[in-house]
Amino acid sequence: MVEMYTSKALGLGRSMVVLSRGLGLCALAAAATACAGESAPQGVGDFVVDNPGGGDGSGLTGTAGAGDEGDTDPSGGDSGGEDDGGDGEREVSEADIVFVDGDRLYALSATGGLSVIDASSPDTALPVLGRHRMPGQPFEMYLDGGQVFVMMNDYGSYALDEATGAYAWHSSSRLVALDVSNPASIHARGEFEIPGTIQDSRRVGDILYLVTYEDGWCWGCEENQPKTVVTSLDVSNLAAVEVVDSVVFANDTGDPWDWGGPRSVSATDERLYIGGVEYDDWEDAHSTIDVIDISDPGGVMQRGASVSIAGSIESRWQMDEYEGVLRVISQPWGWANDAPPTIETFTVVSAAEVTALASVPMVLPRPETLQSVRFDGARGYAVTFEQTDPLFTIDLADPAVPKQVGELEIPGWVHHIEPRGDRLLALGFDRDNAEGSINVSLFDVADLAAPTMLSRVGFGGDWADFAEDQNRLHKAFSILEDLGLLLVPFSGWNYDDAQGEWSCGMYSSGIQLVDWGDDALTLRGVAPSHGQARRALIHRDRLLAMSDKSVQAFDIADRDAPAARADVALAANVNDVAFGDGVVVRLSSDWWTNETSLEVVSADDPETAEPLGRLALASISEDFACGSSWGRDLFVHEGFAYLLRESYSWGEFEEYSSILVLDAIDVRDPANPQWTDDRAAVPARLRRLRPGFAERGAHGGPRR
């Protein structure tokens, strides 16, 4: 799969499929007139299946729009809320971007689509068994036997515009069922189109719940009417998935200044809690948690209570149901509002009967902003931040009388908390830490009244960050207790101070290894990642690291020096392409490596992420330093690729000038492209292109 970056950083898999889904690279070829396997454009709410006329298990079936407007723990779940399937409860599971089934690794790249990889011999190779490109932005997926349910946003396709009677291009969200039983021939069994943007999902038993947000301006959305929609789909029969029900939460006040944004989701096997901020005006914001009864195993939903919350709900971790009580920590927001966070509890008799139990403002040492929350059984933890980071401990043993018990001030702030008994593992930030701007901390909370920080390690460089938001960060943070090991995907930006103001800087990304044992954290080595690191796991005693650009295998027998063993590309950055005799030449600028290169791929597989050959253009000219590319045109002629580009130079008085330069690259051997200074390689007619034209000379200087 190739990602092609334009001024809007579009993916090649998307920008190349601008005529209809499945067109791929043929959309760029002037000679291409059609692509096999295309189906007619479909409308919102229709199901697209391989065999629309057959009821023989061809994919998604059912009736969309069965609307219900109100008539009707450590494993990644919310503590005490999202169940593990014990005691007769239905299992609550979450989507992700990577799954391992036996020796097959399923990787969903935001730019490369779905790849199925053979991970049986990670020391030697990670061969791709099959790929499936997607004309949309992959979000997350579920793996169920030989089928993958992929959720995508910004999915482009044509649809009939009833006003004009013509087909028009639009984008929406999709749930696509892919048959992956034969990875070499992955194909869609069916797909469901839905307006807006997918925010989250849960699978509870045999029902998949999709939560989407419509901003009022998206295709197929009601104009100027923001709303959140929850749709249930029965996936018990993988050959015939059916839409069962939907519930809509809309802003019906009619006041244009009243609006809300995307919401977060907390779930048990009986209820969904859909919470988010609502702005009554520019002076005030509160949140509403809408409750949905999902106890029906067939997927029929009943709209329950709407619970008004004192402050802003901005992540799933701020709300949690435990032993019949909903606990919430939020902070009121408003201009010049210094109100502290509020602890609220509610008795939950049913989805429809949720009654206030207690509301207790927290006591802060100074006005600060709530950064993160986590509940763990009868305990709660909240973190605020101004310049130092107080960790507050909360006793919820008696939910009618919540008690703020302990407080610990530490530098920076904690962004995500993972409870492990009377210990907390936390990911956080401290921009003033010379060791690195992100960190992992270990806290002792055995005594709620006196929490202590046992250990902290910093890493990541000057501007490090995580790829996931707070609602999904727990999926990236791997805690391997049996190995005494933490795996933290991160990415950042570093400058080379030795180069001073001329440092171009570069991205750094990888999996940080941290030992956890004897109540201490020890910083170990980094497994470097090509692309923004997103997931890490152990398979066959090897670390497998996934980014949107690659999957890499490392031997971590020496945790201080992870050794690369095998890797496979999931996507390649592409700025421009040119077609030759049996080959496609690609101009690629990769900001992760600061390298601009010319790649040669077979015309039979132009979207492959692995080229036959590559030439680093920095070896030609310093104009390509820092990943720069001033290419104006790229074309192929009789076994040579020609790159027409601008070259800039600075004069004695800091004035600059530019000339056009033509580089010639011999691609007759696709595995070994070579730049040439042979003037004879340039067709005579190109030498007379225009005044000011130059070609690269033997010593790097322009020659007229």
pLDDT tens, 321-363? 999 999 999 998 765 568 899 999 999 999 999 999 999 999 9
| Distance (Å) of CA 348 to CA 203, 230, 273, 627 | 22, 21, 12, 57
Q: How many CA atoms lie within 13 A of 510 on its CB side?
A: 21
Q: Would you give the DSSP letter of residue 339?
A: P
- Higher-pLDDT residue of 418, 434: 418
Q: What pLDDT is recorded for position 564?
A: 97
pLDDT exceeds cutoff 50 at 575: yes
Name the helix (H) or strand (E) containing 684. helix 684-687
AA identity, residue 646: E
Render 638-656 in DSSP notation, one character per residue: TTEEEEEEEEEEE-TTS-E
**pLDDT band at 55, cuts 50/70/90?**
very low
Q: What is the mean pLDDT of residues 564-571?
A: 94
Q: What pLDDT is recorded for position 9?
A: 26
Mean pLDDT rounded to a whole number for the chain: 81
Q: What pLDDT is recorded for position 503?
A: 57
pLDDT exceeds cutoff 80 at 54: no
- Higher-pLDDT residue of 366, 87: 366
Name the helix (H) or strand (E) containing 695. strand 693-696
pLDDT exceeds cutoff 80 at 67: no
Query: pLDDT tens digits, residue range 458-474?
Result: 999 878 899 999 999 99
Helix, strand, coil share (%) of the chain residues, nearest 5: 5, 50, 40
Q: What pLDDT is recorded for position 21?
A: 27
Token representation of residue 209 = 């719940």
Could you tell me which residues are beta bridge partners of residue 550? 569
Q: What pLDDT is recorded for position 82?
A: 56
| Distance (Å) of CA 176 to CA 23, 54, 190, 423 | 17, 18, 6, 41
Query: pLDDT tens digits, residue range 119-149?
Result: 999 999 999 999 999 889 999 999 998 999 9
pLDDT exceeds cutoff 70 at 25: no
pLDDT exceeds cutoff 90 at 222: no
Q: Give strand ranges (E) for 386-474.
A: 388-395, 403-411, 413-420, 423-429, 438-444, 452-459
Query: pLDDT tens digits, residue range 144-154?
Result: 989 999 999 99
Q: 53-62, 231-240, 559-568, 662-671 — which is least confidently predicted? A: 53-62
Q: What is the mean pLDDT of residues 29-49?
A: 34
pLDDT exceeds cutoff 60 at 103: yes
Query: pLDDT tens digits, residue range 156-175?
Result: 878 777 778 888 888 889 99
Q: What is the mean pLDDT of residues 585-592?
A: 85
Q: What pLDDT is recorded for position 183?
A: 97
Query: pLDDT tens digits, residue range 285-304?
Result: 679 999 999 999 999 999 99
Q: Is 374 helix (H, G, I), strand (E, B) or coil?
A: strand
Q: Which residue has the tokens 């390690």?
A: 457
Question: Cα 357 from chain centroid?
Answer: 37
Q: What is the mean pLDDT of residues 34-56?
A: 34
Percent of the chain at pLDDT > 70 equals 77
| Closest CA relative to residue 483, chosen from 594, 559, 396 | 559
pLDDT exceeds cutoff 70 at 447: yes
pLDDT exceeds cutoff 70 at 518: yes
Q: What pLDDT is recorded for position 701?
A: 38
Cα 564 from Cα 555, distance rounded (Å): 6
pLDDT exceeds cutoff 50 at 656: yes
Q: What pLDDT is recorded for position 266?
A: 98
pLDDT exceeds cutoff 70 at 49: no
Q: What pLDDT is recorded for position 498?
A: 59
Query: pLDDT tens digits, residue range 523-563?
Result: 999 999 988 999 999 999 999 999 999 999 999 999 999 99
**pLDDT band at 185, cuts 50/70/90?**
very high
Q: What pLDDT is recorded for position 302?
A: 98
Cα 312 from Cα 307, distance rounded (Å): 13
Cα 410 from Cα 389, distance rounded (Å): 5
Q: What pLDDT is recorded for position 62?
A: 38
Q: 196-205, 254-263, 573-582, 583-592 — which is least confidently predicted? A: 254-263
| Closest CA relative to residue 259, chosen from 238, 233, 237, 285 | 285
**pLDDT band at 68, cuts 50/70/90?**
very low
Token representation of residue 422 = 């009377």
Full-model pTM: 0.83
Q: What is the mean pLDDT of residues 501-516?
A: 81
